[in-house]
A and B are shown apart, each in its own frame.
Chain A
Amino acid sequence: MSEKTYKPGNYPDLPPPPGTVGVYGWIRQNLFSSISNSLLTIISVVLLYYLIDGIIGWFFLDAVFDADSKIACRKIDDGACWAVITRRVGQFVYGFYPEAERWRIDITFLTMFVAFAPLLYPDIPKRKWLLYFSVFYPFFAFVLIMGGYFGLQKIEYSLFGGFMLTVILGVCGIVCSLPLGILLALGRQSNLTVVRTLSVCFIEFMRGVPLITLLFVASSMLNYFLPPGTNFSILVRVIIMFTFFSAAYIAEVIRGGIQAIPKGQYEAADALGMNYWQKTRFITLPQALKISIPGIVNTFIGLYKDTTLVVVIGLLDPLGIGRAALADTKWNGLSTETYLFVALFFFVSCFAMSRYSLWLENKLNTDQK
């Protein structure tokens, strides 16, 4: 027996006893530490197996991805009948926009990212040039989508629908409501009585009325003021209502941000001899907006999801398209598939917005706390 000798304090660490480390150790510690825990683990695994097996089976393994009707689907397999989606994916995306013109929507959608890039990512190369495009983009998008100029076929608004409608309503509402909200927030803090009163009235009125009421106003009331046949597009009316509604909320969120700025900041600005606009531009807004990012994005996500309310005034957003698909005798009854698909779309877009806001918060974080 050759036992090595060590100087005091130099004895090497022994390896931990087997069964307490590695995968085995983790399992033993967390899943099978006692009899009752072991039982629970086994039961859970069995339950999970059935649950996951059922879900995966329904979603994928037993699902039918292409068939002519629900009855044809059921003949093939008894899982989800995704054929209602695959056969109508064009309708879900573009509504009733003519098939030959759908490239216009594609281009508008893709260039939207180019237009937004310099606004969303300040570090982007050639930002200045891209900004010119951003300014020009709304006109570009309008002409391309509506048509009627430069030899493009004019498209009736009643053909709009699906995700395209959601994105149009959501993006227009978001883009227009932010500046309006900032102005309202500043107006509410203003020393000028008229400006302040008007801002307060506007904000309180818009916040005090349910969005659905505003939508009914847009769809019904405004018509009575306008001559029959003017067709001041319902789309524009709805966008205006969405903008006003969310601007009121944004204004309050930003006001919260403005009030959170320490008073010393204003005093310092005054001491430097800045006028109101300089102070707003360089001191108030940069800090207030940074503080309000989570609130602003929250409002935007809310607005985006609220666009589904247009279904009550007869516009066919993805939910409406889904319902219309369910009214087709061929697909009648496949509501689970339809609603899941629409839910997935909303989840993806809202999650993206929420991730962006987190990224922006981290980027602008100057750790003043």
Chain B
Amino acid sequence: MKTKMLLAVVTAGVMFAGSVLASTLDDVRARGKLNCIINTGLAGFAAPDDKGNWTGFDVDFCKAVAAATLGDASKVNYTTATGKTRFTKLAAGEGEILSRNTTWTFSRDVDLSQTFIGVNYYDGQGFMVPKSLGVKSAKGLDGASVCIQTGTTTELNLAEYFKGNNIKYNPVPIETNAEAQELYKAGRCDVYTTDASGLYATMMSFDNPSDHMVLPEIVSKEPLGPVVRHGDDQWADIVSWVLRAMMAAEEKGITSKNVKELAAKDNKDKEINRLLGKDPLQGLSKLGLSADWAVNVISQVGNYQESFEKHLFPLTIKRGMNALYRDGGLHYIPPIK
């Protein structure tokens, strides 16, 4: 009886799954809301304010996609996910975008059938230690206990780096950033390792930030970016060009303040005209977006720089690798033609 029921459920599921062919964009439009999967709480990237509105660098990207597809940045349902549940939630269709400081790796991209649509933040794994430990380099961490978030790429990096340098360590597995802060403060671990952005955020939360330091070694490449499901190229294009539009806007000096003005007049820089819909791009109808999509994004959310400065500057995070290529960073945007 039970097996029969189970079989019936599975069969029904497979049949339903086969019949869902509507595009992601259509789904979002029909619902009138974008479902976005975000972090349960990471300073600067996603955290609710006192009124219960989610804010942060990753949250801004959800808003930008909503602005581009629905014309209204506020039409987002946020679903929170931990490091372990994020990919299954995306795969299961609980969100159209995973915007949760997720590292782009080969196996996640290929094996888990995800599409990483670009990098919105270049990060790297670092180590934070109390100055009282007297360690100046990660090579001196022999025998240290290390707090590490499970289910993340940092876990693997740590193992590889320490093994490569023949350093012994005791891992202290933890679930969330908040938990790590507590254990680290209580002295349960000598070292906390996670992406450098997270380390600075954690350090800022201490009563005496100057008692701690981030070691100079950055042991991994952590290109963080939004993720969508395999199989809907139109949607992947939309999401990736929203990200590029935000960066292109910074490059061209378009901000939330002047975007309306620039969109109204004929600019000398034809790329601005094309981006802002004055001289609509070819193939925009294939993307399924209206001509003023980028105007909506920039006027309601802002360009890349505005979002970065609003959310990450308070954590004393510098642009560094995340500057545009012309300023010595890594963000290089394909031409808008």
Residue numbers of A with Cβ under 8 A of B are 74, 87-88, 90-91, 95-96, 99, 156, 158, 198, 216, 219-220, 223-231, 234, 311-316, 320, 322-330, 332-333, 335
Contacts and interface: CB of A to CB of B under 8 A. Distances in A.
A335 B41 CA distance: 13
A219 B315 CA distance: 33
B92 A228 contact: yes
The 10 lowest CB-CB distance pairs between A and B, nearest first, are A228-B93, A223-B92, A327-B41, A227-B16, A332-B205, A333-B205, A324-B41, A220-B88, A327-B47, A314-B81
A327 B19 CA distance: 41
Given A228-B93, A314-B82, A90 B10 contact: no
B201 A329 contact: yes
A58 B10 CA distance: 57
Interface in B189-225: 201, 204-207
A224 B92 contact: yes
Contacts of B308: none
Interface stretch (B110-118, B174-182, B235-243, B268-276): B174-182
B47 A225 contact: no
Contacts of A95: 52
A88 B176 CA distance: 21
B43 A328 contact: yes
Contacts of B79: 158, 314
Contacts of B178: 322-323, 326-327, 335
A74 B127 CA distance: 28
B160 to A, nearest CB: 26
Interface string B86-120: 10110111100000000000000000000000000
B77 interface: yes
B5 to A, nearest CB: 11
A103 B41 CA distance: 27
Contact of A87 (B10, B50, B89): B50
Q: Determine the main DSSP class of B at the interface with A.
A: mixed
B13 A225 contact: yes
A314 B17 contact: no
Interface of B: 2, 9-10, 13, 16-17, 19-20, 27, 39-44, 46-50, 52, 77-82, 84-86, 88-89, 91-94, 175-179, 181-182, 201, 204-207, 314-315
Nearest to A219: B85
B26 to A, nearest CB: 11
A138 to B, nearest CB: 24
Q: Determine the main DSSP class of A at the interface with B.
A: helix
A219 B93 CA distance: 12
A234 B40 CA distance: 16
Given A329-B204, A335-B182, A312 B175 contact: yes
Contact of B314 (A90, A314, A329, A333): A329
B13 A226 contact: yes
A106 to B, nearest CB: 17
Interface centre among A91, A219, A228 (most CB of B within 10 A): A228
A324 B85 contact: no
B40 A314 contact: yes
Given A88-B50, A323-B40, 17 more contacts: A90-B52, A219-B88, A219-B89, A220-B85, A229-B93, A314-B40, A314-B79, A314-B81, A316-B40, A322-B178, A324-B47, A327-B40, A327-B41, A327-B177, A328-B47, A328-B49, A330-B49
A219 B49 CA distance: 26
Given A220-B92, A227-B20, A314-B89, A329 B44 contact: yes
A333 B88 CA distance: 30
Contacts of B48: 91, 96, 324-325, 328
A320 B80 contact: yes
A231 B20 CA distance: 14
Nearest to B11: A225
Interface centre among A87, A91, A225 (most CB of B within 10 A): A225
A250 B16 CA distance: 37
Nearest to A95: B52
Contact of A228 (B17, B43, B84, B205): B17
Nearest to B176: A323
